[in-house]
Amino acid sequence: MRDSTFARLSIVSRTAFSGQRFSLFPIGDDKRIVYILIDHGLEENWKQRIQKGIQSVKQSLRLPAPSVQFGIGKRVAQLSRLHKSFQTAQEALNIQQKTGEGEDVFYDDLHILRIISGFQDTDRLYEFMMDYLRPVIEYDQKHGGEMMKTLKVFLACNGSKQETAAKLYIVRQTLYNRLEKLEEMLGSDFMLPEKRLAIEFAIAAYEYDRPPADS
């Protein structure tokens, strides 16, 4: 990164974040800039203020949406914990790049993906995922269907058929047909709490690192 570019980004960013009650200290190299933010505002709205600061930077520099991504680490109260915030910001960016999970990502908002990204035994993770999702994955591969998407949205809507159909832009009868097929593949008990939790974890694992088509 050229010195002039770094200087311009630093000036714009300091102005943007100072308006949100942060003091900003930038550190840059040829690929990235690390922002150390000292918060002078209220803890309960720090995320909203950071989001506003980021949007202000992008608007001031007229940056197209995909060109710059921000990973925001854990909020820490002591300087001795600053390294933890930096590590989690890096992890947030890594997860974002693998999953496309949002343009600007807070580590705190990644939830179950934080567990999956640190999973050391990838074979066991893959086996777990396929134990629950194999028939859905294979059905979509064979028929070019949208069973996985339907399942994910249905779970996110807490089983509301009306809301699911609206979000998928399909008529209810189409949804009923898909849900009937999902019951055949996953079992009629797939919405029971323990099994549902396992399926939701498996979906997150699938989206984090999709398995090879021939597995």
Domains of the chain, by residue range, sit at: 3-110, 117-208
Residue 30 has a pLDDT of: 60
- In the chain, the N- to C-terminal Cα span, in Å, equals 42
More confident call, 14 vs 67: 14
131 pLDDT above the threshold of 90: yes
Supply the pTM of this predicted model: 0.73
**Predicted confidence band of residue 83 (pLDDT cuts 50, 70, 90):** very high
Share of the chain above pLDDT 90, in %: 67
**Predicted confidence band of residue 21 (pLDDT cuts 50, 70, 90):** very high
161 pLDDT above the threshold of 60: yes
Contacts of 56 (CB under 8 A, 6+ apart): 15, 16, 19, 20
Residue 8 has a pLDDT of: 82
Residue 3 has a pLDDT of: 63
